Amino acid sequence: MKRIVIYTLLVFLLIFSFFAHPSQKTFADSISDNSVIIVSGIVNTQNKLIIKANLTENTAISGMTLELSYNKSAMVLTNVVFGTALSSLEPITTNTNTSEGFKITPFKFNYYGEKNDFSTGLLFTLTFNINNNVKDGNYLVSLKYNKNKDVCYFDENNVLKTKNLYIDNAEIQIKNDFVTQITSVRDEGQTSNTWIVVLCVSVLAIAIIIAGILFAKKFIKKRRNWKRLWIKQSTIEIWDC
């Protein structure tokens, strides 16, 4: 009875692992899956905040609009340098050549392509000045977009569709007009998906371990039977002599 229960559990675990929904088995199986942007920061010797936005997982993007969000009472954007990911990404809703330049809000980035882009890496680097007499506290520097609208891709039939993003943003701690700490604020959707992946991998690992234990027990039992048979045969041969 015990053996039947173990075998039943093993079969159930294997079925669960191999027939789970594709998005549960891997992080990005198809071009319809969400892409991932990580926002991180450092502070240079002049107390300037340097924020980098990296496209770490790109399942396919043909168009994207992002809005930069930050507290202007604490800091002000002074420069933007674009990276190599989504090479035609550019600022919109602002004019960086005017006296206001990068200070104009809302500050948005836009990318448009005639086909899917799968590039990854640095999207852009932002430079902020920390204002004087800033109230001590935590300030979020984030990238926002309209879900199911602002990120597009072409599917396998070349039909334009929308997808969403996982964005890990940056929280800036300021004390006495200086940045004292920068922490990552993880996207809740990405966290839950990651736990699903971890769960499925764990289930598969448990199934493999159980299968290994059962095989080892069966192999050991066979070896014992072989040994007993060999001893019995040897005894018969001795008596035959």
Domain residue ranges of the chain, discontinuous segments joined by +: 2-20+195-240, 31-186
Distance from CA of residue 154 to its chain's centroid?
Answer: 22
Handedness of CA 17, 19, 20, 22 (dihedral sign): positive
pLDDT at 212 over 70: no
Q: Say if strands 35-43 and 165-175 run parallel, antiparallel, or are unpaired.
A: parallel
Tell which residue, 184, 77, 78, has the closest CA to residue 140. Answer: 184
Measure the CA–CA gap between 100 and 87, rounded to whole angstroms.
25
> What's the confidence (pLDDT) of residue 218?
64
> Are the beta carbons of 91 and 107 closer than 8 angstroms?
yes
The answer to whether 106 and 77 are in contact (CB under 8 A) is no
pTM above 0.75, yes or no: no
6-53 pLDDT, tens digit each = 555 555 555 544 444 333 333 446 899 999 999 999 999 889 999 999
Query: pLDDT tens digit string along 48-82?
Result: 999 999 999 999 999 999 999 999 999 999 999 99
Contact 154, 116 (CB under 8 A): yes
Mean pLDDT of 83-111: 90
Q: What is the pLDDT of residue 8?
A: 58
What residue type is 191 in one-letter code? T
> In CATH, which of 2.60.40.680, 3.90.1170.40, 2.60.40.10, 3.30.390.30 is domain 31-186?
2.60.40.680
* CA angle (107 as vertex; 104, 112 as ends), nearest 5: 140
Residue 235, φ and ψ in degrees, nearest 5? -65, -40
Residue 196 confidence (pLDDT): 44
The percentage of the chain sitting over the pLDDT mark of 90, rounded to a whole number, equals: 59
Percentage with pLDDT > 70 across the chain = 66
Question: Residue 134 above 60 pLDDT?
Answer: yes
